[in-house]
Amino acid sequence: MIGSSYLKINDTEKLVITPDVGSLLYFFFDFIKSKERLFLLFDEFLHYIHNDYTFVINNSMEGWNFVGHIEESLRINRIDDNPLDWILEYTKSKNIPNNSIQIYTSDLNCKKNTEKYSHIFTPNIYFNGFISPIDDYDNLIDRVFTKKFITLNRRIVMRDYRASLYIFLKLNNILKDSYYSFNSNNALDHYRVIPLESNKLTNESDFYNESREFYKTSFCNIVTETYFDNMYHLWNYDTMFLSEKIFKSINNCQPFIVFARHGYLKKLKELGFKTFDKWWDESYDDEINSRERINKLLLLIKSISLYSIEELNQMYKEMIPILHHNLKLSTYSEQYNGYIRFPRTNNKVDSNIFKQFLNGQ
């Protein structure tokens, strides 16, 4: 939901950026509501565009295949008017560059997922800035682990792989060696609600920065990403979404195992990050079949669980150069082999049109 009428400005890169719009379906159909109203918004900032600024609709909180999502919604609701075509029409009618209005997304595969709209969409690395860097990065060698794993799984609706992981950890008596949460958001009645260490999150800030002691005292982060396969939504085929979950591991200087689409680790390496194939088998990342990928991941977790805490402490010391590299790349880099970090902004401007829409006009 949009909660502000202020748009952010980056004068160096010449960008005007909306507040995060949540869902494009909400933004276009519930907030904007019509082509004419969208054009009013663009008109308000047309003088920026004429001065070579790019107008950015910020949807970086999500990594959906937005074209597929919109087209599926249009089909279900029997609507012919695609709002992405409104953007094409506006740039043509104003004789401005066809890429002067952009939609920022965290789907790193958006260029090949958006077809004729690909020039509108820009992938960016977004969530690295949400997680504060750990404060003991200069003293990682002094970490002493009391747990082998941390795995945070608030939401399990339409995410069966998270339930499979929890059941496996429970049956194999690994939960006692783990910090974990399960089913604590949008809870399903037939599973227990288990907040992290019995502490329910009370606000959004808590979600992004749970107690850092959990990360400092657990060896490995079992990351369960938002998308594992195409069962979540068929129109989300072939998206690649790096959510805050992976950056909780990276910015807290933890090695990670990732439940995600196949090719996820390959994408991380393409961005410049390093993974942990020197210490364990990461061939699960190459496995296309979802069930087989889960099996490989569970076997890997089992194998790591058999190490003693002392052995994991020694292994961690060997990993410190990689952990430092990943944290530095996440925190300080502006470019990731062609992908941009979400731009820092230095100013803001109040939008009268946004204000009217927020007031229900």
For the stretch 294-337, pLDDT in tens is 999 999 999 999 999 999 999 999 999 999 999 999 998 888 98
Residue 70, H or E segment: helix 66-77
pLDDT (tens digit per residue) in 23-48? 888 899 889 999 999 999 999 999 99
Break the chain into its structural domains and give their ranges: 6-126+342-358, 130-333
**The pLDDT of residue 232 is above 80:** no
The pLDDT of 197-225, averaged and rounded, is: 72
Q: How many CA atoms lie within 13 A of 99 on its CB side?
A: 7
Token pair of 361 as six digits: 């006009």
CA-nearest of 46, 44, 53, 43 to 99 is: 53
The pLDDT of 275-297, averaged and rounded, is: 97
Q: Provide CATH code, domain 130-333.
A: 3.40.50
The pLDDT of 205-220, averaged and rounded, is: 77
CB 294 within 8 A of CB 164: yes
3-state secondary structure of 241: strand
Q: Which residues pair with 6 in a beta bridge?
A: 350
CB 181 within 8 A of CB 192: no
Look at residue 6 in the predicted model and tell me its pLDDT: 93
If one counts every other C-beta atom within 10 angstroms of the C-beta of residue 76, the result is 8
**The pLDDT of residue 278 is above 60:** yes
Q: How far apart are CA 225 and CA 242, in angstroms?
A: 8
**The pLDDT of residue 204 is above 50:** no
Higher-scoring residue by pLDDT: 212, 285: 285
3-state secondary structure of 306: coil
Look at residue 252 in the predicted model and tell me its pLDDT: 96
CB 149 within 8 A of CB 255: no
Gyration radius of the chain's alpha carbons: 22
Please tell me which of 40-49, 191-200, 222-231 the model is most confident about, judged by mean pLDDT: 40-49
Q: How far apart are CA 285 and CA 266, in angstroms?
A: 8
Look at residue 105 in the predicted model and tell me its pLDDT: 93
The pLDDT of 6-10, averaged and rounded, is: 95
83-93 vs 66-77: helix axis angle to the nearest 10? 110
pLDDT (tens digit per residue) in 80-132? 788 899 999 999 999 999 999 999 999 999 888 788 899 999 999 999 988 88
Q: How far apart are CA 301 and CA 162, in angstroms?
A: 14
Higher-scoring residue by pLDDT: 61, 237: 61
Residue type, 93: S
